[in-house]
Chains A and B, each alone.
Chain A
Amino acid sequence: GDSVTQMEGPVTLSEEAFLTINCTYTATGYPSLFWYVQYPGEGLQLLLKATKADDKGSNKGFEATYRKETTSFHLEKGSVQVSDSAVYFCGLRANYGQNFVFGPGTRLSVLP
């Protein structure tokens, strides 16, 4: 079945450091790919998405590119802030259905 794997956390960075959170997936066909973020005490919210190969999703300085050849959707940010501290979930939705599949989440802590 469909699955998502993402790097183990927690990840601790200093402010203004470069961030990469790896995400790879297994799915048939051409799924849509997502990154969701869960800030402390809040529900999940969509951070960015990409619906086809080579698409780049971007939001709030975060970027991720849909790489079908490597089945990856790595999340990057050039300069993290303390306010980016959260749990990040990589997910996919297969093109044949409505169900979403999520990775285990990566907790990011950014220190001032």
Chain B
Amino acid sequence: SAVISQKPSRDICQRGTSLTIQCQVDSQVTMMFWYRQQPGQSLTLIATANQGSEATYESGFVIDKFPISRPNLTFSTLTVSNMSPEDSSIYLCSVTTGINEKLFFGSGTQLSVL
């Protein structure tokens, strides 16, 4: 199993600022993912964080807006840059311990942009 610590749990930010969300896992994991859950919507994959290389972004998401770091096998950050009210959402870190293994989720970061 994997225990994920994600912070901050929530934040209220001003338009135009940036917020970095941290995800710490209690064990080494191969795959780390960042999801967004907009109000009333499903989970949408933003990107896959790869250790030692650039993140792989899904359609509609770009590195300039959502830069991701993955310095080692237990930690990742997602930055939401130049925020606007449309970025208000819950951001979730998730990991899987290997192929055919289940997905574990952090408790999420609830972001509100004014």
Contacts and interface: CB of A to CB of B under 8 A. Distances in A.
Given A51-B100, A98-B99, A99-B48, A42 B42 contact: no
B103 A46 contact: yes
Contact of A43 (B33, B42, B102, B105): B105
Q: In terms of DSSP, what is the predominant structure of the interface of chain B?
A: strand
Interface in B66-114: 92, 94, 96, 99-100, 102-108
Q: Is the interface of A mostly helix, strand, loop or mixed?
A: strand
A98 B48 contact: yes
Interface residues of A, number: 22
Sorting the interface of chain B by its residue count into under 10, 10 to 19, 20 to 34 or 35 or more gives: 20 to 34
Given A44-B43, A102-B43, A103-B42, 5 more contacts: A41-B107, A44-B94, A45-B105, A98-B31, A104-B42
Interface of B: 4, 6, 31, 33, 40-43, 45, 48, 92, 94, 96, 99-100, 102-108
